[in-house]
Amino acid sequence: MQLNGWHRLWLVVSLLLGIGLGYYTVKIVPEMPKYIKLDWIKSVSEVLAEGTLDNNQPVTVRQVYNGLYNTYKSPDAITASFEEMATGKPKNKAEKKVIEEIASLNQIYKEKLADPNKNNTLYMGMIIAWLLASTALYVLGNLIGWVLQGFKKEAE
């Protein structure tokens, strides 16, 4: 099988792209629990900020998020505090709704943390990205080669 210059270039670049995406995936996957916890904190911050809308001085999600970090200092401590929040005694209906939402989020994120790679589309996404980029590169290379061949024929 003979490969011309464009095909060789495509093969080399595709392999390098695959190696790069593979390396990125291997570096990111061990960090998934960290990202899950940060997403959990953001979700609970949204619920807590929404729960303050009835107050005279509502707070933003960012203020809640920063307040949690200032109080607990680490994602592990913050997520542990959500357990306490979810088992608290509500003083009114609005607080009961917030506590129920936090309990629901706790359950969802605990399941995600139990198996962080379950339903993880990161691997499939990287494979699809590699295939799409390689295909686009192949088509682009052939189009450029086709155009250049057209000019060479006219020059002869």
Of all helices (H) and strands (E), which one includes residue 42? helix 32-51
Segment 130-145 shows an average pLDDT of: 89
Residue 120 has pLDDT above 80, yes or no: no
* pLDDT band (50, 70, 90) for residue 15: very high
- 141 CB-side CA count, 13 A: 18
* Of 23, 31, 27, nearest in space to 130 by CA: 23
Segment 61-75 shows an average pLDDT of: 83
Residue 46 has pLDDT above 60, yes or no: yes
Segment 89-99 shows an average pLDDT of: 78
Residue 156 has a pLDDT of: 56
Residue 125 has pLDDT above 70, yes or no: yes
Residue 32 has pLDDT above 70, yes or no: yes
Residue 152 has a pLDDT of: 80
Burial of residue 89 (CB within 10 Å: 0-12, 13-18, 19+) is exposed
Q: What integer best gives the mean pLDDT of the chain?
A: 81
